[in-house]
Amino acid sequence: MKLKFISCSGVNEHTCIEDLVSAFENIYLPQIIFGVQVSGKKASFGTARYWWLRALYGFLEKKDTNLNISLHLNQDWVERFVDGDVPSELDYFLKLQKGFGDPFIKSVQLNFKIGREKTPDIKKLLETVELYKRQNFILSCSQNNIEFVKSLLAKSHRNFWLLYDDSFGEGVKCCNWKAPLFDNILQGYAGGLSPENILTELDKIDKLVSKNKFIFVDAEGKLKGDDGHFSIQKAEKFVNQCISYTEKKAES
C-alpha cells in the first residue's frame, strides 16, 4: 500500500494563511491537499469564506507557492453543481490559475448523499464535470450512495477518485475498514482519523490493500483545536505521522 496524498480538511477564514503556508510549503511528498467546505451559505459572494479564498489565491500568486486546495461542495452548491447549474462564485474559483499554469483548485469533492440530497442525474453530472477538465473530482461515498456511485463510474470516462466514509463526514471512527471497492479507482479512507491514531489505522488498512496500490487518507474533525477550528499544529502532526509511515514502508 502506498499513500498518494494526505487530505487535511477544514481550513477556512479562521485559518491564518501566512501560518498555513509557512508550516507546509516545503513538504511535497506525499502530496498534501487542504480541503475547504463550501456551500451557498458559507462561500457565496460577500461571505467571509469567499473573501478568504480570494485572499488565499492572491497570497499564493504573490508568493508563487504550490499549496494544493480542494473544494468540498455541500448542500445547495453540490445539488446545483450536479444539476448543471454551477454557482458563479464556484465557477470563478475553479477557473482561476496559478502563475505557472496549474489550477488554483486542484480537486473538487462532491458531498451528495442519497436520501439527504436528491439523487443526481448522472448525465447532467457528467456533463458538468466535463466543463472542468483540469480538476480531479472526488465522490464522497457511503452505504447510502454506493449503488449510485457504481452506476456513475460505469458510465464515465473520467478518472474519479472515491472517498469512502460510512459516517459521511460525521468523524465517527471506522471499526471495520473495507478493501478498495474498485480496482482502477483511487480510494481514500476517512472517519475519525487523527494524529494520535493514524499510524494504527494505516496498519489496519494496509492489511486490506495490495502492496503497490495507492490510497489516500482524509481527516477533519480530529484536526480541530480547542476553539473548534482547524489547528495547523494538529495538521502538522497528522501529516508528519503519515510521512513517517510512508518512509517506514519504503524501508521495509
pLDDT value of residue 28: 63
Which residues, at least 6 apart from 209, have a Cβ–Cβ distance to it below 8 Å?
A: 1, 179, 180, 215
Quote the CA–CA distance of 14 and 23 in Å, as a whole number. Answer: 16
Beta strand ranges found along 19-104 (DSSP E): 31-38, 68-73
Sketch out the chain's domains with CATH numbers: 2-251 (3.20.20.70)
State how far the alpha carbon of 7 is from the alpha carbons of 37, 131, 180, in Å: 13, 24, 18
Strands 136-141 and 105-110: parallel
Residue 30: predicted pLDDT: 59
Q: What is the pLDDT along the chain (252 residues), one digit of tens a residue?
A: 889 999 999 999 999 999 999 999 877 655 899 999 999 999 999 999 999 999 999 999 888 777 899 999 999 999 999 999 999 999 999 999 987 788 999 999 999 876 677 788 999 999 999 999 999 999 988 777 888 888 999 998 888 999 987 655 555 566 678 888 888 889 999 989 999 999 999 999 999 998 889 999 999 999 999 999 999 999 999 999 999 998 887 777
